[in-house]
Amino acid sequence: MSTELGSKEQSHKWWMERAMRVLPGGVNSPVRAFRAVGGTPVFVESGDGPYIWGVDGKKYIDYVCSWGALIFGHAPPFVVEAVERAMRKGSSYGAPTPGEVEFAEMIAEIVPSVEMLRMTSSGTEAVMGAIRVARGYTGRDLVVKFEGCYHGGADYLLVQGGSGLATFGVPNSHGVPSKIAETTLVAPFNDLDAMKRIFEKHGRDIAAVIVEPVAGNMGVVPPEEGFLQGLREVTAAYGAILIFDEVMTGFRVALGGAQALYGVKPDLTCFGKVIGGGLPVGAFGGRRDIMEKLAPLGPVYQAGTLSGNPLAIAAGKATIEALKKPGVYERLEAQSCKIANGLEEAAQKNGVTDFCVQRVGSMLTPFFAKGPLRSWQDVSRADRSGFALWHRAMLEQGVHWPPSQFEAGFVSLSHDDEVCEVTLRAAHAAFAALPK
Ligand SMILES: *Cc1c(COP(=O)(O)O)cnc(C)c1O
């Protein structure tokens, strides 16, 4: 009997069927359901370094890494110890702690555009706070976002462009009132001319432009030379706030984030993922004169019961301390480069010609399309079914890659030479298995 029960509990399908009865789609966040690639998601039993183990006992090399949060891989001992120590002293107080102060000082020292910081429990909340304070500061309502960029689940950011180059947003989720979607303007990524036209028309009503400085949520699309600088100039000319959503890129593409990498200073920055060391976290910060509009100093309300909670702070501090050591980002770059080049080589050797890897640091997307891809329009031409077949073949080979063509894969500091080699051997086999 116990073996019978054991075999059920070792089946992803059995867990998915059970999950479907109590969790919509079986998951707590849609992309995890594997709808874009088909098949059943891996139900994870545990993780260690670059590996996860499924309930079936199978070991996978993981490139999801909690969607980029785990820059040292799963359960790095120094983070586990920091969280254990914090937990013994109490997990949350609803009162200020020295750790929050040290954490904010740490971020402000590494990211010079951040003079003050407010912590939240997710990236979504960080973005909502940043946009609210930008609107409160400027007294304007409109926000500009880019097609293909994702900024969490807030109503006014779940929008897509209508027809035409730069338009008022229309909801891309049911449940978002069109009146709210209309407070957002949608522009094509990497298109400064479109941005200038938007500002010529609406500039005096625009509170903020929010951008993923390296787009990661349509798959990796780097900013073209001058794009971020151009956004800086046009927002400054019209007194609009420039918000870098560095929830994915912060402390990942460089210690100081994309703003350090490209040398452009935003007014506000949103963080999440890496700064929480794998615990639920977010933060937004920037210019002191803007941040001082937040309650209790100013009239812009923002709050959170678990904001700045000691466990997340402990994990975040341990992670950032470790990231400050010399050579860390060079090592991450070298491994990521090896994987990106190796994937392109494996595709080429197997006759897959409409293929390119787009990468900035340790964020990378294998696109089933000829590159370079510079906008949502470009990436949407990629062959999703080719990607889905490749994804399934990789999974069979023991590599857990993000289950969508329009996501980034993440390399961690635990992905060493051997892990890279095994990954590339798997990729070779996966490309070879594709129909010609
Ligand atoms: C993940 C992500 C978010 C949302 O963060 P959550 O913690 O999932 O709420 C926002 N912006 C970007 C760029 C992200 O990658």
- Which residues of the chain are under the pLDDT cut of 50? 1-2
Q: What pLDDT score does 165 carry?
A: 52
**What residue has token string 């780097």?**
222
Active site residue 267: no
| DSSP category for residue 373 | -
The reported pLDDT for the residue numbered 2 is 45
Cα(407) to centroid(ligand 1), Å: 12
77-323 is a CATH 3.40.640.10 domain: yes
Q: Whose CA is nearest to atom 6 of ligand 1?
A: 123
Half-sphere exposure of 400 (CA within 13 A, CB side): 23
Task: Please pick, among 191, 245, 267, 378, the residue that the annotation labels catalytic.
Answer: 245
Report the pocket of ligand 1 as residue ranges, CB < 6 Å. 67, 122-124, 127, 150-152, 212, 216-217, 245, 247-248, 272, 282
Strand order in the sheet with 356-360: 356-360, 363-367, 409-410
Return the residue whose CA atom lies nearest to atom 11 of ligand 1.
151
3-state secondary structure of 143: strand
Helix (H, G, I), strand (E, B) or coil at 245: strand
Q: H or E stretch including 409?
A: strand 409-410
DSSP 8-state code for residue 166: S
Gap between the Cα atoms of 67 and 207, Å rounded: 29
For the chain, the domains span 77-323
The answer to whether 273 is a known catalytic residue is yes
Closest ligand 1 atom, residue 248 Cα: 15
DSSP string, 10-72: T-HHHHHHHHHHHSGGGSSSGGGG-TTT-S-PPPEEEEEBTEEEETTS-EEEES-GGGGT-TT
Residue from 60, 63, 137, 150 carrying the catalytic annotation:
150
Q: Classify each residue of 27-59 as buried b or exposed e, where b means 16 or more C-beta atoms within 10 Å of its C-beta.
A: beeebbbbebbebbbbbbeebebbbbbbbeebe
Q: How far is the CA of 349 from the centre of ligand 1 (A)?
A: 36
Per-residue pLDDT tens for 264-275? 999 999 999 999
User: What angle (nearest 5°) sits at the alpha carbon of residue 43, between those of residues 42 and 45?
Assistant: 120
pLDDT score recorded for residue 1: 43
Query: What's residue 163's pLDDT?
Result: 55
Q: Which of the 8 DSSP states describes residue 240? A: P
**Separation of CA 67 and ligand 1 centre (Å):** 9
Phi first, then psi, for residue 227 (nearest 5°) are: -65, -50
Instruction: Please give the distance of CA 221 from its chain centroid, rounded to a whole number.
Output: 13
R_g over Cα of the chain = 22
Give the ligand 1 atom nearest the CA of 217: 15
Model pLDDT, residue 164? 52
